[in-house]
């Protein structure tokens, strides 16, 4: 996939509409984690160096297509302002008089941050008129919002058909790293798949099954797989509607010669509660009245052996209810094993990233994907509209 790159482009004095993913967590109107803003800084610094006039657009939360003060970009703008050394302005509208005026007044290297794109329902509708208005704010479009690339919205898709368009540095890195997993990854290739539900990961497993050598399963989805093999799971989380598909997946892995491993022991609890009574069960099955909350020590040791020999690892989803300390050990152990591995390691999905951060090993991972939904869809083999639009340039 040849994404149009930014590095060689002459942008001095040109207005650039830069779509970013500044959809950061807020608490009482304050940004609680600025990682997503920081990840875009290399692109912004490059644009500043090139003398571009930068118009930044992002969504924030789900304001339902109309202005809603609790989703204003203003607190994000304030944090962002502290991270760059050039003048930054804020427009209280997106495509109105103020945005128009301010975008025209920008000098080389200066930045304008627009209000939340999703204050207009036309953004998510990818409405043609709105795309035109966004495009009128700039001469060039750069998309660095990998986290929103699976959405065909005006600022991620429509606008790319109206302006010369480029991938930002973060977008380029994400696509390059994730693509390398799907095309000729170094072997052995290990997929570690966890998280709550089989239903949300089944398409990823299906797409990876012909590419990987090992699949290591953890988290809540374990119990649908076990149930499908008639192994008792007590009160553990089970998606009844997916038992047949889970069973078929295990069969398919067998046919493809993939080593498909399920947990062989568990940390169980009498209820879903951080203070629950817990036990370690040294077998696959779980008795009535108990629920599986984390992988057990034998499973950790089995998985560590596979991870140690891997050349490529992709990890998506925690191994247990890691938000509760009593059930975080399995996930932490896997995070550490992945970080120690010499393999190329790619971690995706909000909760796996939180686990990597909790284990303090982020700097030892080859690539931590910023887009939960987008990286899942990419690994499912789907084409992301925001990426496809960059490949088709305006006539
Ligand atoms: P996902 O967003 O699908 O990656 O799922 C992440 C969520 O799965 C986390 O909030 C975990 O608490 C949850 N989870 C992991 N293991 C279990 C389990 N054994 N039972 C219930 N939920 C789990």
Contact 286, 236 (CB under 8 A): yes
Answer yes or no: is 235 a known binding residue.
no
For residue 137, the model assigns a pLDDT of 98
**CA atoms of 187 and 28, how far apart (whole Å):** 47
Better pLDDT: 72 or 355 = 72
For the question of residue 53 being annotated catalytic, the response is no
pLDDT, tens digit, 9 for 90 and up, residues 173-213: 999 999 999 998 999 999 999 999 999 999 999 999 999 99
Mean pLDDT of the chain: 95
pLDDT, tens digit, 9 for 90 and up, residues 331-345: 999 999 999 999 999
Give the tokens for residue 183. 């095309």
CB of 296 shorter than 6 A to ligand 1: no
Answer yes or no: is 21 a known binding residue.
yes
What is the full DSSP assignment across 12-33? TT-EEEEE------EETTEES-
For ligand 1, atom 1, name the residue with the nearest CA: 195
**CA atoms of 58 and 148, how far apart (whole Å):** 9
Give the tokens for residue 370. 């910023």
For residue 262, the model assigns a pLDDT of 98
Dihedral angle over CA of 186, 174, 304, 285, nearest 10: -110
DSSP assignment, residue 95? S
CB of 348 shorter than 6 A to ligand 1: no
For the question of residue 29 being annotated catalytic, the response is no
CB of 196 shorter than 6 A to ligand 1: yes
**CA atoms of 135 and 161, how far apart (whole Å):** 9
Candidates 309, 303, 314, 304; CA nearest to 211 is: 314
Answer yes or no: is 151 a known binding residue.
yes
For the question of residue 206 being annotated catalytic, the response is no
Cα-Cα-Cα-Cα dihedral sign, residues 241, 243, 247, 253: positive
Q: How far is CA 137 from its chain centroid?
A: 28
Domains of the chain and any CATH numbers: 15-172 (3.40.50.1260), 185-379 (3.40.50.1260)
Give me the mean pLDDT over the 146-163 stretch. Answer: 97
pLDDT, tens digit, 9 for 90 and up, residues 61-114: 999 999 999 999 999 999 999 999 999 999 999 999 999 999 999 999 999 999
Contact 132, 154 (CB under 8 A): no
CB of 197 shorter than 6 A to ligand 1: yes
Which residue pairs, CB below 8 angstroms and at least 24 apart, start in 364-370? 364/339, 364/340, 365/338, 365/339, 366/177, 367/173, 367/174, 367/177, 367/178, 369/146, 369/174, 369/177, 369/178, 370/21, 370/35, 370/36, 370/39, 370/146, 370/147, 370/170, 370/174
Of the listed 34, 92, 132, 197, which one is catalytic? 197
Atom of ligand 1 minimally distant from the CA of 292: 19
**CA atoms of 269 and 291, how far apart (whole Å):** 5
For ligand 1, atom 21, name the residue with the nearest CA: 220
Q: 372 alpha carbon to ligand 1 midpoint, in Å?
A: 14
Distances (CA, A) of 82 to 40, 100, 372: 14, 24, 27
**CA atoms of 267 and 230, how far apart (whole Å):** 20
Answer yes or no: is 220 a known binding residue.
no
Better pLDDT: 348 or 192 = 192
* Sheet containing 278-281: order of strands: 278-281, 266-269, 291-295
Distances (CA, A) of 340 to 62, 66, 191, 299: 38, 47, 16, 18
pLDDT at position 374 over 70: yes
pLDDT at position 1 over 90: no
pLDDT, tens digit, 9 for 90 and up, residues 276-325: 999 999 999 999 999 999 999 999 999 999 999 999 999 999 999 999 99
CB of 237 shorter than 6 A to ligand 1: yes
Q: 197 alpha carbon to ligand 1 midpoint, in Å?
A: 7
Least confident of 135-149, 217-231, 359-373: 359-373
CB of 317 shorter than 6 A to ligand 1: yes
pLDDT, tens digit, 9 for 90 and up, residues 197-255: 999 999 999 999 999 999 999 999 999 999 999 999 999 999 999 999 999 999 999 99
Atom of ligand 1 minimally distant from the CA of 321: 12
Atom of ligand 1 minimally distant from the CA of 196: 8
**CA atoms of 387 and 175, how far apart (whole Å):** 9
Q: Which residues on adjacent β-strands are paired with residue 32?
A: none
**CA atoms of 374 and 315, how far apart (whole Å):** 15
For the question of residue 82 being annotated catalytic, the response is no
Q: Is 64 left (phi over 0), alpha (psi -120 to 50) or beta?
A: left
Answer yes or no: is 15 a known binding residue.
no
């Amino acid at each position: 996939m040849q994404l149009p790159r930014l590095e060689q482009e002459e942008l001095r004095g040109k207005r650039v509409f830069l779509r970013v993913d500044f959809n950061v967590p807020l608490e009482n109107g304050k940004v609680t984690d600025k990682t997503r803003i920081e990840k875009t800084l290399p692109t912004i610094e490059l644009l500043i160096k090139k003398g571009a006039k930068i118009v930044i657009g992002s969504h924030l939360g789900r304001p339902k297509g109309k202005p809603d003060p609790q989703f204003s970009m203003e607190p994000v703008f304030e944090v962002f302002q502290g991270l760059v050394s050039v003048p930054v302005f804020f427009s209280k509208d997106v495509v109105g008089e103020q945005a128009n005026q301010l975008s025209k007044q920008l000098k080389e290297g200066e930045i304008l941050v627009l209000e939340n794109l999703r204050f207009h329902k036309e953004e998510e509708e990818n409405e043609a008129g709105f795309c035109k208005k966004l495009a009128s704010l700039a001469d060039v479009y750069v998309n660095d919002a990998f986290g929103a690339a699976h959405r065909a919205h005006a600022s991620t898709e429509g606008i790319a058909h109206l302006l010369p368009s480029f991938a930002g540095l973060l977008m380029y890195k994400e696509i390059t790293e994730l693509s390398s997993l799907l095309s000729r990854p170094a072997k052995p290739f290990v997929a570690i798949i966890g998280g709550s539900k089989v239903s949300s990961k089944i398409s990823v497993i299906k797409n990876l099954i012909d590419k990987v050598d090992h699949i290591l399963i953890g988290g809540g989805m374990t119990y649908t797989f076990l149930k499908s093999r008639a192994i008792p799971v007590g009160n553990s989380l089970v998606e009844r509607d997916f038992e047949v598909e889970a069973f078929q997946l295990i069969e398919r892995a067998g046919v493809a010669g993939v080593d498909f491993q399920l947990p062989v022991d568990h940390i169980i609890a009498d209820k879903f509660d951080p203070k629950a009574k817990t036990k370690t069960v040294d077998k696959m099955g779980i008795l009535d009245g108990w629920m599986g909350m984390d992988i057990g020590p034998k499973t950790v040791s089995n998985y560590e052996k596979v991870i140690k020999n891997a050349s490529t690892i992709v990890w998506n989803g925690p191994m247990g209810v890691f938000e509760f300390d009593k059930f975080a050990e399995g996930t932490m152990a896997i995070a550490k094993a992945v970080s120690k591995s010499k393999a190329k390691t790619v971690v995706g999905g909000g909760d796996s990233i939180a686990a990597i951060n909790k284990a303090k090993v982020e700097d030892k991972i080859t690539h931590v994907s910023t887009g939960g939904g987008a990286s899942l869809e990419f690994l499912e083999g789907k084409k992301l509209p925001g990426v496809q639009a960059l490949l088709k340039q305006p006539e």
